[in-house]
Structure 1
């Protein structure tokens, strides 16, 4: 019985660790380039993001300060949301 409990606890610990790495990240910066056709966004610090096909442009333009909520997909940063910051 003790082995089952220890095994279950170890499995739960390992599973919860991978969930923590899947958390959405946030970046705030100024837009350097936005291409609605290519679905890409580049910030002045060099961070680049791919935008999903369902992305609705809130009026993004170069020089605008934004907060990007993103996650990794392979080697690409995929923006889940882009919000203009005042």
Structure 2
């Protein structure tokens, strides 16, 4: 019986000290998630490098590709035409809200 009690007592002491240390350890501070950044509408004037009306995208001379709205009506876009694109960031995409010639 003594062979059983001594190891059990040691295990109990070691186990309870580990629990006491875990309970005493300070939990890491939880920082609140930053408020979602509000997308600020912006505009850019540049020439059309390429556009794809089936994918609803337009790429300007600055190299950025803008996603056109699903309801976009083509005002006669041509590669090389100067346009003004009003856009805002949605995630990692440049979301165009309007495209005007000139």
Do they superpose with TM above 0.5?
Answer: yes
Per-residue deviation, residues 26-47 of structure 1 (Å, max 9, x unmatched): 0010000010001000011201
Gaps of 5+ in 2: 1-34
Structure showing greater radius of gyration is 2
Gaps of 5+ in 1: 1-14
TM-score by length of 1: 0.72
1:31 to 48, 56, 71: 48
Q: Which residue of 1 aligns with 2:101?
A: 84
User: How many residue pairs align between the two structures?
Assistant: 67
Higher relative contact order (CA 8 A, sep 6+): 1
**Structure 1 or 2: more strand by fraction:** 1
> Structure 1 segments of 4 or more deviating over 4 A?
none
- C-alpha distance in structure 1 between counterparts of 2:44 and 2:100, whole Å: 11
